[in-house]
Structure 1
Amino acid sequence: MSEYLTIVRHPLVQHKLTLMREAGASTAEFRRLLREISQLLAYEVTRDLELTTRPIDTPVCAMQAPVLAGKKLALISILRAGNGLLDGVLELIPSARVGFVGLYRDEVTLRPVQYYVKLPQDLAGRLVVAVDPMLATGNSAVAAIDLLKEAGATDIRFMCLLAAPEGVARMKEAHPDVPVITAALDERLNEHGYIVPGLGDAGDRMFGTK
């Protein structure tokens, strides 16, 4: 991926995102759409995975067939809302290793507070995809990427549903080597650190906690 920020403008992605933005979308509908859109975003994230070949027998003849090369990739969910994206990507790549980074945003300082970390072993040499629906201030994403690099990850990508310009700038400043893949770059953050026009709190809408 040559550009730091990739906006996936596929019509199905944009259509599903509009349905998710609507305030009247039910919890079940929001969750289903998030899972579906995560698979479409994952196609873009994994577009340039390396391939090798191995011999197989088709019903007609033998051939050298393409298969993924190298170590299985690792998916890292930034809790709690990241699990909505994680579920969809795992349906597409069921053999991926999975890790979790638990961060919540202090509503006063807007800074991330860490409460849980569990990562796969041997992140070096793997493609590591961190997932979180919202890249708002960028503080939680930066903190999560810091942890991944400390654990040895060198090939990291960040996949989100929505991004704010402030969050993209924060990520690029802290981790210019980590591409960001998103469905939309929205206008701005409001005074509470929420993305505008956004879709509200993704975790609350996914789990029905508000």
Structure 2
Amino acid sequence: MNSLHIMLGSPDSRQHTMPPLKEQDYYIGVDKGALLLAENGYYIDLSLGDFDSITDAEKLIIEKNSKKVISFEPEKDDTDAELSLVYAMQFFDTEQIILYGWSGGRLDHLMSILMIVMQPRFKSIVTRLIFINQTNTLKFYLPGSYLLFKEPDKKYCSFIGMTPLSNLTLDKGFKYTLDNKNFDYPIALISNEFVMEEGRFSFDSGLAAFIQSKD
């Protein structure tokens, strides 16, 4: 399975998780995320952003360690995170798109990143997106039935209805189960736990997020 790894520019180094280095994978660095990759020995397939928080010396480091660099004006309609996904859709055909460096900074930045999945233009890649930081793994699901596996280092799991959900079912693999429950509004069902190594969940309409977390 090949992956596209996108390093965003969170200012909080405590939340930085570095992607694995794999020959078959691709790497996008976004603004300060590009600098972080470059300084840690990654050769970046695409670096992009307005680079408004980057010095000239740091920009040179990014350019020396990138196959391609695209700079934007700070005043633009799309955020750097949105632009990274636009380019991901256009130029990288991978099974997974894994995002890092998305948490720990401004709350408005975090909200804008998480709400990306609500935009119709990104619907085709929603189920390929994975958000990872030091304590969380976040994935999104369209209607269907899914077998989920517990991450060994994570204690909690949460189901988030990004939209209303119909017939949400959580089987006996989870501590708190549900049987065809309807929610007419977005809902956060947090602090559930696996009681087995795997559990199945299903729903018939809406958009759901699944988070595995540790303290």
**Would you call these one fold, judging by a TM-score over 0.5?**
no
For this structure pair, what is the TM-score category when the shorter chain's length is used for normalisation? 0.3 to 0.5
TM-score, normalising length from structure 2? 0.33
TM-score, normalising length from structure 1? 0.34
More RCO (CA 8 Å, sep 6+)? 1
Q: Which has the higher strand share?
A: 2
